[in-house]
């Protein structure tokens, strides 16, 4: 799974995801199949998703503003709640990855991805979903890299939101 739509699903969201992934699907790689020592075959692991520089903002502001009805004060409150909660989850996720606790990686990544998808964190969600998948499978093969990439993307989100709020509230950014 490379992306996620949270409820309520909007037609515009479906269109955006199809447009975003159409090119990737068209040029998707066939991963090589290798034979193990006991004669079984297995497919090579998928490459680790990395945050990609993009002209697209890391946050779907239209989505997050839907929750705040245009109020900058409500936006500040929602952003602070999201950032505080997610910062704690990112720390927990890193600790779970470092200790190799797949069950905790799955649980934390799932929770964090849900909140991030709801708030429109475009590039963070696929990283968290891949961590969740590896936790479910009990194989944290690229979890260290994924966790580092998710941390970088979260920092990008934090800066973006602080700048957005500063620009729209007349208060200087404190980042």
Q: What CATH number belongs to 59-175?
A: 1.20.120.160
Spans of the chain below 70 pLDDT: 1-6, 8-11, 13-55, 170-175
Residues forming a β-bridge with 25? none
| Three-state SS at 26 | helix
Distance separating the N- and C-terminal Cα atoms of the chain = 33
Instruction: Please report, for the chain, the start and end positions of each structural domain, with discontinuous segments joined by +.
Output: 59-175
For the segment 24-53, what is each residue's pLDDT rounded down to a tens digit? 554 444 445 556 666 666 655 555 444 445
Helices (H), 27-139: 61-68, 72-99, 102-118, 124-137
Helix or strand run (H / E) with residue 146:
helix 143-169
Regarding pTM above 0.85, the answer is: no
């Amino acid at each position: 799974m490379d992306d996620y739509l949270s409820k309520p699903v909007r037609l515009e969201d479906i269109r955006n995801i199809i447009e975003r992934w159409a090119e990737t699907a068209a040029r998707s790689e066939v991963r090589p199949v290798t034979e193990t020592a006991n004669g079984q075959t297995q497919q090579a692991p998928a490459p680790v998703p990395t945050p990609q520089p993009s002209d697209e903002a890391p946050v779907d502001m239209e989505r997050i503003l839907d929750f705040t009805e245009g109020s900058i004060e409500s936006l500040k409150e929602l952003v602070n709640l999201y950032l505080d909660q997610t910062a704690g989850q990112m720390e927990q996720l890193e600790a779970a990855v470092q200790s190799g606790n797949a069950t905790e990686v799955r649980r934390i990544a799932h929770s964090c991805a849900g909140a991030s998808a709801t708030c429109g964190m475009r590039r963070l969600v696929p990283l968290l979903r891949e961590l969740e998948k590896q936790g479910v499978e009990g194989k944290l093969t690229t979890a260290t890299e994924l966790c580092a990439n998710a941390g970088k993307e979260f920092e990008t989100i934090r800066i973006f939101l602080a700048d957005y709020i500063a620009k729209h509230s007349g208060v200087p950014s404190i980042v």
